[in-house]
């Protein structure tokens, strides 16, 4: 049975006419789906649910978690809050590099756009500008790992026309950061492509623009991470077109979109412990599951360990103390 805890929200925030703070009782636990009264059905992704507000978007980060392209039956409590707040941190930090989609992440602004108050959304929503997403993922890598290393072993140094050095080993640092775009798969995995192929999809000028922005953000984020004792091995960005030009959209440098490694534990030659879904992936490899939907129910230990990694990543990267939404509202 899940426990219940009082969630205190100011009357002004809830447009309450009670004349005093309203105390609501809400269940603790993960938020897996939303159903916002009076709003059109959202576009549902693996983690986020996007509501069209007309001239704006309301993006809700749920606590769903996926692995091997399958969403698990249960989620990771507070994961959506962490992803939303961490993205907001990075978007603000690098607003001088590239304009982004954020209008507001303030709970008061979110609640103003709802037909009824919804305390389950605290801290996990972004009111965003509309943009037409580019049809490529923009990936920056400072180390060779993951899918690119697998392709490198099979295809050699010319993989995706990158002209990489010979003899690289798993997780080895690259001579300089590289841009490795990918297609956007509606199902299954995104596929790495060459810059030339990316230019064929979005146009050369646009491809060059997002490449420069991707590498500049990655370079500055890597410096920030290094100051926290972390290595930013790679990350994935999305950009979108607006009437005012191309902006940075979706999420920013979260454990879901990036590989962060502990610098003091770094040893090239094998995969590194990451601040992401490491516990989850390792667990799923040990059970009788064919890696097809639906995803299995995760045991409490795996949920707790995965949550702890997300919390640690948030605190180390932002320098802020993690306070779950309930605790933040009660203070």
Domain boundaries, the chain: 4-129, 133-276
Superfamily of domain 4-129: Phosphorylase Kinase; domain 1 (3.30.200.20)
Q: Output the average pLDDT for the chain.
A: 89
Q: Would the pLDDT of 15 be above 80?
A: no
Query: Range with the lowest mean pLDDT among 11-15, 127-131, 137-141, 169-173?
Result: 11-15
Fold of 133-276: D-amino Acid Aminotransferase; Chain A, domain 1 (3.30.470)
Decide which of 177 and 21 is more confident. 177
**Considering only CA atoms, which of 248, 220, 247 is closest in space to residue 232?**
220
Six-digit token string for 202: 């979005």
- Burial (CB < 10 A; 0-12, 13-18, 19+), residue 162, is buried
pLDDT of residue 276: 78
Residue with tokens 């990316």: 198
Q: What is the DSSP string of 100-140?
A: BSEEE--HHHHHHTSSS--GGGTTSEEEEE--EE-SEEEEE
* Phi–psi pair at 110, nearest 5 degrees: -65, -50
Q: Would the pLDDT of 12 be above 70?
A: no
pTM score? 0.88
In 3-state terms, what secondary structure has residue 320?
coil
pLDDT of residue 267: 98
Six-digit token string for 317: 């990267």
What would the pLDDT profile of 243-281 be if each residue is shown by its tens digit? Answer: 999 999 999 999 999 999 999 999 999 999 998 787 788
Cβ contacts of 151 within 8 Å, gap of 6 or more: 159, 160, 192
Place 309 in a pLDDT band, splitting at 50, 70 and 90: very high
pLDDT of residue 18: 37
């Amino acid at each position: 049975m899940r426990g219940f805890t009082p969630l205190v929200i100011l009357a002004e925030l809830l447009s309450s006419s009670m004349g005093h703070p309203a105390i609501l009782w809400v269940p603790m636990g993960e938020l897996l789906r939303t159903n916002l009264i009076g709003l059109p059905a959202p576009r549902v992704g693996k983690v986020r649910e996007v509501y069209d507000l007309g001239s704006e978007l309301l993006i809700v980060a749920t606590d769903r978690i996926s692995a091997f392209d399958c969403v698990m039956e249960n989620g990771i409590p507070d994961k959506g809050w962490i992803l939303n707040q961490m993205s907001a941190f990075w978007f603000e930090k690098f607003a001088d590099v590239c304009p982004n989609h954020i209008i507001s992440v303030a709970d008061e602004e979110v609640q103003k756009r709802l037909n009824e108050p919804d305390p389950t959304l605290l801290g996990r929503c972004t009111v965003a500008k509309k943009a037409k997403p580019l049809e490529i993922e923009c990936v920056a890598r400072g180390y060779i790992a993951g899918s690119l290393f697998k392709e490198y072993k099979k295809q050699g140094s010319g993989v995706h026309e990158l002209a990489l050095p010979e003899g690289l080993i798993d997780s080895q640092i690259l001579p300089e950061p590289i841009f490795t775009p990918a297609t956007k798969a509606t199902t299954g995995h995104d596929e790495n492509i060459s810059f030339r192929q990316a230019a064929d999809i979005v146009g050369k000028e646009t491809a060059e623009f997002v490449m420069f922005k991707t590498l500049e953000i990655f370079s500055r984020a890597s410096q920030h991470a290094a100051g926290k004792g972390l290595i930013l091995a790679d990350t994935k960005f999305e950009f979108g077109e607006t009437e005012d030009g191309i902006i940075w959209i979706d999420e920013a440098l979260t454990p879901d979109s990036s590989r962060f490694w502990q610098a003091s534990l770094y040893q090239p030659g094998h995969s590194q412990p990451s601040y992401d879904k490491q516990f989850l992936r390792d667990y799923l490899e040990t059970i009788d599951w064919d890696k097809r939907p639906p995803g299995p129910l995760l045991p409490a230990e795996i949920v707790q360990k995965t949550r702890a990694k997300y919390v640690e990543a948030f605190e180390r990267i932002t320098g802020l103390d993690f306070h779950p939404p309930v605790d933040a509202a009660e203070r």
